[in-house]
């Protein structure tokens, strides 16, 4: 679990790459510069940890590309103590970025193996989300709602209704919508029934899967 000067240097280069692609939020860039991404990856990929690319993790899933993580995080507009729900914990990298920015993070993962691995790993490197949940993200987390922000880190074939209804007024849902290719979509809740919708470019995610049960 080493984080060396070499890693820090590579991370600073990654920050510059992400910035050159259009990320401007200083807090997001700072978090990318702090979270040791190489520790979230299988050892075989260590050399690639600070390239701006997605990579395989356990259980056939992927750790998202840093630019994508930064883009989604920027859209959330996190403040200290914002209450954020993440769907798709995966490696925990996105979760760590949110924790680093001072958010209170709840994160749901449907694969037991990943849920167990990441639940053990995050506190080991000093990140303490409020709650990691093994379950189905399509349902959100009604017991802890409302959330200031909800971020979906898998490609959703449609926008799950529970996620919309679990947003606080003024809250933001960031969700890639589509089957093979996804359009990054931001919903801002303006009132009980009013949502503002913004669409951004195309992204590619592993699919948000429906519950097996």
Which of these, 157, 110, 109, 146, lies nearest to 129 by C-alpha position?
Answer: 109
Smallest distance, ligand SAH to C-beta of residue 53, A: 13
Distance in Å, CB of 199 to ligand SAH, minimum: 21
Nearest distance in Å: CB 92, ligand SAH: 6
**In this structure, what DSSP letter does residue 166 have?**
T
Does residue 61 bind ligand SAH (CB under 6 A)?
yes
Residue 110 touching ligand SAH (CB under 6 A): yes
Q: Is 122 exposed, middle or buried (0-12, 13-18, 19+ CB in 10 A)?
A: buried
- 165 part of the active site: no
Q: Is 103 in the site for ligand SAH (CB under 6 A)?
A: no
Does 87 engage in binding with ligand SAH (CB under 6 A)?
A: yes
User: Does 127 sit near ligand SAH (CB under 6 A)?
Assistant: no
User: Tokens standing for 178?
Assistant: 């589509």
By DSSP bridging, strand 167-177 and strand 104-109 are unpaired
Out of 20, 43, 64, 119, which one is annotated catalytic?
A: 64
Listed residue (163, 59, 73) closest to 111, CA to CA: 59
Shortest separation between residue 137's beta carbon and ligand SAH, angstroms: 3
Among 29, 32, 41, 208, binds ligand SAH (CB under 6 A): 208
Shortest CA distance to 141 belongs to which of 188, 109, 99?
Answer: 109
C-alpha span between 74 and 211 (Å, rounded): 29
Q: Does 68 bind ligand SAH (CB under 6 A)?
A: no
Nearest to ligand SAH of 109, 148 (CB atom): 109
Q: Which of 28, 63, 103, 175 binds ligand SAH (CB under 6 A)?
A: 63
d(CA 96, CA 3): 15
3-state SS, residue 82: coil
Which one of residues 65, 68, 82, 153 is an interface residue with ligand SAH (CB under 6 A)? 153
Phi, psi of 90 (to 5 degrees): 50, -130
Query: Annotated active-site positions, please?
Result: 64
Q: What are the residues binding ligand SAH (CB under 6 A)?
A: 61-64, 87-88, 90-91, 93-94, 108-111, 114, 136-138, 153-154, 206, 208-209
């Amino acid at each position: 679990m080493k984080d060396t000067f070499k890693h820090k240097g590579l991370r600073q280069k990654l920050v510059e790459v992400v910035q050159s692609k259009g990320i401007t939020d200083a807090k997001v860039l700072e978090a990318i510069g702090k979270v040791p991404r190489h520790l979230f990856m299988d050892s075989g990929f260590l050399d690639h940890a600070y390239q701006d690319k997605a990579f395989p993790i356990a259980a056939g899933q992927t750790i998202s590309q840093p630019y994508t993580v930064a883009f989604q995080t920027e859209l959330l507009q996190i403040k200290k103590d914002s209450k954020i729900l993440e769907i798709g914990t995966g490696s925990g990298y996105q979760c760590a970025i949110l924790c680093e920015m001072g958010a209170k993070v709840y994160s749901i993962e449907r694969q037991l193996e990943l849920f167990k691995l990441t639940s053990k790993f995050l506190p080991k490197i000093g990140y303490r989300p409020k709650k990691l949940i093994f379950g189905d993200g399509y349902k959100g987390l009604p017991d802890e709602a409302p959330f200031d922000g909800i971020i979906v880190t898998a490609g959703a074939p449609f926008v799950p209704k529970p996620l919309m209804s679990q947003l606080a007024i003024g809250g933001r849902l960031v969700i890639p919508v589509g089957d093979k290719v996804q359009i990054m979509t931001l919903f801002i809740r303006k009132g009980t029934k009013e949502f503002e919708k913004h669409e951004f470019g195309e992204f590619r995610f592993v699919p948000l899967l429906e519950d097996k049960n």
